[in-house]
Every structure is written in structure tokens, then in C-alpha cells.
Amino acid sequence: MNDPIILTVAVFAGVLAVVFLISSVTGRGDAQKRRRLDEHAVAVEVKNSKRFEHRNVLKEHRYSVIGPWNAVLKRFKPAQTAAAELTRANIKLTVTPYLFGRVLLAAGGFLIVRQVTGVLVFAIPVIPLGLILPRMYVIMTAKRRLKAFDGQLAEAIDLMVGALRAGYGFLQAMESVSREMSNPMREEFGKVLEKINLGTPAADALQELPERIPSYDLDMFVTAVTVQRSVGGNLAEVLENISDTVRERRRIRAEVMAITTGPRVSSYVIGLFPLGLLAFFLMTTPSYRQVMLGELIGQIMIAFSMTWSLIGFLLSTAVSKVEY
């Protein structure tokens, strides 16, 4: 490998390591502050009915450990999207190393593949892959967390209904959920209680919950609680009806997933089979490999086939996707 390429990759890696080091050190400091606040949050009381500003004492997500750069990133749309994705996935990482890592992966992967294979058509697809793969991991992590939360929601509501009928208040019922349930339910309800203990109105703290967990079932729960606390009514009965609705929707989701198994598997076959066939011929037929990799027409054919395989995969996935 050429010295300039080695130097470029080393510089990228060095800068990223420094950013991650600063981020981790600052993150530990924030964690210590949060633990200290948790120890004393119970003693905080709201002494008047003034409406507090809708923000947390410790910001939910920092864009950067550098103050001016943090202010710049807040006005940058991709940075806002990245911050929302990291928050939903509950990944303790600031936006700067996340975005910088994606750029490093794309640039470094392009340089390495270009140098190893000597084929530009193989190196170019590495750039979008390097940018997309980390985001796909974050999105998949957020989806797994959302699925786990939805799976616990009906049981959490039942626990709150039992507490309310036993004579406990709404906040005590939420506290029982944060104690008895496992993560992510425990963690998210704990965040809501923490904000309420620090002076945030209960309605505002609850409204932030669907921003971290974009679930339709959770939105129903938050809306019902918000309306009930405004106009009054039997909250236990309302929550019991919502629990039944959540269970029915969960049953329908399971049926839909079973019905669409075939189309979803077909989408992976459509996307991976041509690539597997190409790899087989390249490994077993030297003359075929020479034409496909050594000549321009072969490289164009590979790029064309990979593009249409990807399009077929995306179309098949879109057809098998069901909104519910």
C-alpha cells in the first residue's frame, strides 16, 4: 500500500480516536452528575404552580463536547436527525464522533478496497456503504428497543391499573412500573419520573416519552393520561381499555409478520442470489474473472447488476412492508 494512503488512513483514525476519547471522558462526567442528581431528586418539591420551561436540567443529547461546535451542529438538519436516532437507540454517543466515524469508515474503506483490488468499480460502492451501515445499525438498535418496549407496554399498563385501584396515585403507579419492569420500560419511565421530580410538569414529561419511543401504542397511552388529567375521569378504567387495545394490536402484528414471511424472505433472495452467483463464478472460472475484473465492459456489467439487484431488493422489501 502506498505511503500517502497509509498516512491518510492513520490521520483519520487518529483524529477519530481523539474525538472518542474526549467524548468518553465527558460522558463519564455527565453520568456522575446524573447519578448525584438521582440521589437527591426525590427531595425536590414543586412549591408553586408556575409552568417550567420544557427542557431537562441535563440535556438529553449533546451534539459535541466543544461548545461552539455544539451550537453549530444544533442548527444542522442531518445532525438533528442523527441526535434523534441515537436517542431512540439509547446509544450514549454524541453526534460528532458518530458522524465523523461514518465519514472515516467510508473514506478508509474506499482507500483500502481501491488499493487491495485495484478495481475502482469495487471501491466506489464502499463509500455509500460506509456512510449507511453505521446508521443502519443505529436504526436497527432503535427498532429492537421499540419492539421490546411495545412488548412490555400492556403489562406495564396493567401494573399501573392495579396500583391505581389499590389507592395509589398516578405518580406512584408510574414508580411501581419503573421498579418492577425490566428495561427499556424501567429506564424510560424512570426518565419521566426524574424530570417530574426535578420540577417538570407531568404532562410535559410524558409528552417527551413518545419522542424517545415513537410507538403508536405509547402515544395512545400518553394522550389518554394527558386528557384525563385535564378533564378528569376514571383513569384506571381508561388504562384498562387501552391495555386491551394494545394486546389486540400486538396479536394482529404477529399475524401480519407471519403472513408476510414469504415476501420478506424473497426480498433477501432477490438481493443476495445474484451477488452469490457472481462470487461463485469469479472464484471458480479464471477466464470469467479476467474478463469481469480486468476489462472495462466487465466492470460496467458488475456495477449494473449490483445496482439492479439493490433496486429489486428495495422494491421487494417495500411491497412486503405493512403499516399497522
Q: Which of 233, 256, 279 is the last residue of a domain?
A: 256
Number of domains in the chain: 3
pTM: 0.69
Q: Confidence class of residue 65 from pLDDT cuts 50, 70 and 90?
A: low
pLDDT beyond 70 at 30: no
Stretch 193-218: mean pLDDT: 87
What percent of the chain is modeled with pLDDT above 70?
76
55 pLDDT higher than 80:
no
Confidence of residue 157 (pLDDT cuts 50, 70, 90): very high
Confidence of residue 207 (pLDDT cuts 50, 70, 90): confident
CB 149 within 8 A of CB 185: yes
Question: Are residue 155 and residue 46 in the same domain, yes or no?
Answer: no
8 Å CB contact between 230 and 301: no
- Provide the domain limits for residue 61: 3-143
Residue 136 and residue 9 in one domain? yes
CA within 13 Å, CB half, 116:
9
Residues 105, 37 share a domain = yes
Q: Based on the domain organization, do 292 and 228 belong to the same domain?
A: no
7 and 137 part of one domain: yes
188 closest CA partner among 87, 273, 102, 294: 87
Same domain, 139 and 150: no
**Gap between the Cα atoms of 126 and 110, Å rounded:** 6
Cell of 122: 469495487
Domain final position from 214, 241, 256: 256
Count of helix runs (H) and strand runs (E) in the chain: 14, 0
Domain end, chosen from 256, 272, 296, is at 256
